[in-house]
Amino acid sequence: MRAVVLTKFGPPEVLQLREVAQPIPKANEVLVKIQATSVFAGDCEIRGLKVGAALKLPIWLYLRFGRPQPVILGQEFAGEIEAVGQAVRRFKPGDQVLAASGFGLGAYAEYVCLPAEAGGLGGALALKPANLTYAEAATIPVGGLEALHFIRLARLQRGERVLINGAGGSIGVMAIQLAKNHGAEVTAVDSAEKLAVLRAIGADHVLDYARDDFTQRGQAYDVILDVVGRSPFARSLKTLTPNGRYLLANPGLAQQLRARLTATGSKQVIQGSARQTAADLEQLKALLEAGHLKPVIDRTYPLEQLAAAHRYVDAGHKKGTVAVTVGPTS
């Protein structure tokens, strides 16, 4: 099968299209013929090993020695189940699915195997929303699951004010829509070229981070969701209402330490990543089919141009998500 292989850590050019052996499903796994996948910032960080100092060695060791070679990146996809292991009951050949592959990765290929139920490497699998194309469905799992996780932790009440910092990426565009579904008043912060898209998907207010410091505007928020890990910690806490919640989706080491050590009174500082589950993916599927969530795709590339897709995401200008087509019907 065709797959894009990580030949070494580095710039996008280290991703090379190769012919590799097609995987064979174990008893608890399904074999999926991938029709589409995606590229988001997390993929690029792994490719370039541009992660926090505490994560560099574990990621290097895992990718080089803790998983089968060659290394195939890619964390979410949509496609059709081609075969199932003998212990699988929830899915059958021909099912159209979307999935987050967790630490198993492997989505930059024509085929992938993953557990039908949650496995030791994480991930989640569900039937594809009937109203989405494969390319649209492939951009949902990771960002959608992270956004759902943090909006749930926020315990939003109708009418509360929510600010999302870094709202223009795969997590942010889902978080805006989920917060609006809860009846929140949403302020989205990102670069100027993304603001029109953010307003179009429901943001009540938009701020260009290069021109407006949300902590200096005299506005208090019930919830601040920092997707990119760059909000000023102390000033953000002061910007919260007395019972406000400060959610850190991608905290740096300094933010993690401050979150643990800071005494905030009635204000809460919450951090961590989502545990990917089929139940949450099914919830996203229902919201998508009901029209309460919509995919936001900036650009679409074929698998052969995956390195170009990584270059575009590296540049930091993507609005929402970037899809990659693998099959002809994506």
Is 105's pLDDT higher than 90? yes
Q: Which of 147, 153, 152, 106 is nearest to 125 (CA)?
A: 106
- State residue 264's pLDDT score: 57
How far is CA 288 from each of CA 71, 87, 105, 262, 296, rounded to the nearest angstrom?
A: 32, 30, 24, 38, 12
Is 100's pLDDT higher than 80? yes
At position 252, the amino acid (one-letter code) is: G
Give the domains, in start order, of the chain with CATH numbers: 2-140+295-325 (3.90.180.10), 142-271 (3.40.50.720)
Q: Phi then psi for 301, rounded to 5 degrees? A: -125, 150
Q: DSSP labels for 270-317? A: EE------HHHHHHHHHHHHTTS----EEEEEEGGGHHHHHHHHHTT-
Residue 151: enclosing H or E segment and its boundaries? helix 141-154
Q: Which of 100, 17, 101 is nearest to 285 (CA)?
A: 100
Q: By the 8 A CB rule, do 123 and 100 touch?
A: yes
Report the distance separating Cα 240 and Cα 37, nearest Å: 37
- State residue 119's pLDDT score: 67
- State residue 329's pLDDT score: 53
pLDDT in tens, 117-160: 876 667 899 999 999 999 999 999 999 999 999 999 999 999 99
Is 323's pLDDT higher than 70? yes
Lowest mean pLDDT among 18-22, 56-60, 179-183, 193-197: 56-60
- Please tell me whether residue 64 adopts helix, strand or coil conformation: helix
Is 253's pLDDT higher than 70? no
Is 164's pLDDT higher than 80? yes
